[in-house]
């Protein structure tokens, strides 16, 4: 008999890859989606479809079947603008609370939460799963809300729900419908010649979802895993995209103090336009530099560190195949 999984965020980048992986491995998969969601990619993998929203506890409970083995809570709001904070908190924190309550009510065995490296807050340097989080005092709501969501999930362990937290860095690969894939047309059109001085830890989406599936059985209850380890700069990413697209190498870094000024002015203008700026103060605050090794995930879940070159190629090849560039 096939094992059962319920996936939130199944129409997003990680969710699509996770549903694909689960179905390929023979799981019986139910994917939650909003009434307004574009299901064209998700339907390719033929999961059972369940209409509902994580912010609507009633619809979520109705969508979740009884006795699901593993609930993968992938849905999340990555907003980086203060005017979107209230909605982000509803979706990331209250949404997770609703997922937890539904899981407990329906007898789910294990909840795997897709969090983020951002849940550590404004840390820098080398971090591990033992690094204390600074997110509780962060002024970036994405960092704060992802940390709060983790704590909501952890609290459910005392009520009998098994919980594992996954903390990926910057994810790249196929089915990226609006994350790092956005850089390709910007580079193509000459709009990414100025790049922040930022260090990132990258992970291939294939390895991220494989680690999620492995965590269903291999991860100890209450554990958390950093997923990344290809530690590169934003400049290196853009240079690789330039090379992939056959564009001349024009990208150069911009000093952070200058970006702070641009972001502050853009934010001021947004008070009159009510449109989200291309660069926000919250984004600039996150342009730090950190390094992770993902040794724990490699050792316990079989996670593999993939080169940024391979990630860029796989993302580009998928975009070409889908006519998205």
State the total domains in the chain. 1
pLDDT, tens digit, for every residue of 131-176? Answer: 999 999 999 999 999 999 999 999 999 999 999 999 999 999 999 9
- 19 assigned to some structural domain: yes
What pLDDT score was predicted for residue 299?
97
- 249 assigned to some structural domain: no
Q: With contact defined as beta carbons under 8 Å apart, do 150 and 121 qualify?
A: no
Burial 113-133 (b: 16+ CB within 10 A, else e): bbbbbbbbbbbeeebebeeeb
What pLDDT score was predicted for residue 254?
86
pLDDT higher than threshold 80 for residue 325? yes
What pLDDT score was predicted for residue 196?
86
What pLDDT score was predicted for residue 257?
83
What pLDDT score was predicted for residue 155?
96
Percent of the chain, pLDDT > 90?
76
What pLDDT score was predicted for residue 261?
86
- 257 assigned to some structural domain: no
Neighbouring CB atoms inside 10 A of 145's CB total 29
Structural domain boundaries, residue 157: 4-235+288-321
pLDDT, tens digit, for every residue of 42-93? Answer: 999 999 999 999 999 999 999 999 989 999 999 999 998 899 999 999 999 9
Mention every residue, 6+ apart, whose C-beta is less than 8 A from residue 286: 80, 118, 122, 140, 142, 143, 198
What pLDDT score was predicted for residue 164?
98
- 160 assigned to some structural domain: yes
How high does pLDDT run on average in the chain?
Answer: 93
Q: What is the pTM of this model?
A: 0.94
pLDDT higher than threshold 80 for residue 1? no
CATH number, domain of 44, equals 3.40.50.720
pLDDT, tens digit, for every residue of 201-259? Answer: 999 999 999 999 999 999 999 999 999 998 999 899 999 999 999 998 888 988 888 88
CA distance 223 to 128: 13
- 204 assigned to some structural domain: yes
What pLDDT score was predicted for residue 264?
87
Looking at residue 41, what DSSP letter applies? Answer: T
pLDDT higher than threshold 90 for residue 279? no
- 273 assigned to some structural domain: no
The lowest-confidence range among 13-17, 42-46, 262-266, 312-316 is 262-266
* Whole-angstrom Cα Rg for the chain: 19
Looking at residue 137, what DSSP letter applies? Answer: G
State the Cα angle at 147 between 139 and 229, rounded to 5°.
100
CA distances from 223 to 90, 152, 153, 295 (A): 25, 14, 12, 14
What pLDDT score was predicted for residue 290?
82
- 50 assigned to some structural domain: yes
What pLDDT score was predicted for residue 227?
97
H-helix segments, the chain: 13-24, 57-63, 85-89, 95-106, 141-155, 183-188, 205-215, 234-245, 256-273, 281-285, 295-301, 308-321
Q: With contact defined as beta carbons under 8 Å apart, do 174 and 17 qualify?
A: yes
- 86 assigned to some structural domain: yes
């Amino acid at each position: 008999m096939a094992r059962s999984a319920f996936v939130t965020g199944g129409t997003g980048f990680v969710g699509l890859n996770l549903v694909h992986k689960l179905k390929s491995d023979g799981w019986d998969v139910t994917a939650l989606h909003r009434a307004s969601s574009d299901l064209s990619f998700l339907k390719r993998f033929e999961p059972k479809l369940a209409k509902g929203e994580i912010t609507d506890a009633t619809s979520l409970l109705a969508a979740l079947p009884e006795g699901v083995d593993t609930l993968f809570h992938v849905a999340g709001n990555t907003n980086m603008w203060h005017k979107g904070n209230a909605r982000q908190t509803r979706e990331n924190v209250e949404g997770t609370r609703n997922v937890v309550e539904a899981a407990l009510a329906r007898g789910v065995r294990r909840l795997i939460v897709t969090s983020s490296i951002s849940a550590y807050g404004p840390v820098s340097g080398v971090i591990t799963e033992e690094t204390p989080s600074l997110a509780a005092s962060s002024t970036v709501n994405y960092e704060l809300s992802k940390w709060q969501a983790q704590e909501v999930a952890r609290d459910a362990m005392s009520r009998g729900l098994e919980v594992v937290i996954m903390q990926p860095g910057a994810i790249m690969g196929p089915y990226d419908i609006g994350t790092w894939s956005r850089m390709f047309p910007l580079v193509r059109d000459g709009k990414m010649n100025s790049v922040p001085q930022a260090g990132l830890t990258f992970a291939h989406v294939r390895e991220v979802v494989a680690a999620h599936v492995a965590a269903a059985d291999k991860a100890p209850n209450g554990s958390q895993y950093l997923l990344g380890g290809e530690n590169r700069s934003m400049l290196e990413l853009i240079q690789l995209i330039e090379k992939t697209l056959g564009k001349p190498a024009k990208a150069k870094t911009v000093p952070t103090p200058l970006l702070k000024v641009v972001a502050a002015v853009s934010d001021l203008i947004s008070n009159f336009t009510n449109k989200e700026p291309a660069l926000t103060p919250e984004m600039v605050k996150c342009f730090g530099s950190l390094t992770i090794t993902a040794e724990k995930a490699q050792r316990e879940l079989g996670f593999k560190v993939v080169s940024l070159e391979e990630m860029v190629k796989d993302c580009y090849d998928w975009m070409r195949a889908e006519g998205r560039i």
